[in-house]
Amino acid sequence: MLEPEKVQRPEVQDKDLLKARDQLIQEKELKSKTFEVMEGCERVGKVAPSVFSKVRSGSETVFNKPKKQQ
């Protein structure tokens, strides 16, 4: 088998690294469902749901919903 040729890449310069770092530092709006839920809960004044919450047993499904406590 023939080995693939190594690609000659240009040398990375300090100004390129600084530019890349500055782009990462810029404030960008996070776009994830988890972050949306946390922000929504914060606006309403509630605590965001946790995977460690004791409210659910983990066996709930769409067809097998827990009974509401009276």
Closest CA to 57 of 48, 66, 49, 70: 66
Task: State the pLDDT at residue 36.
Answer: 82
pLDDT at residue 69, as a whole number: 58
Kindly report the CA angle at 13 between 3 and 29, in degrees rounded to 5?
95
Rounded Cα–Cα distance for residues 57 and 67 (Å): 12
The pLDDT of residue 49 is above 80: no
pTM: 0.31
- Once rounded to an integer, what is the mean pLDDT over residues 3-28? 83
**pLDDT score, position 20:** 86
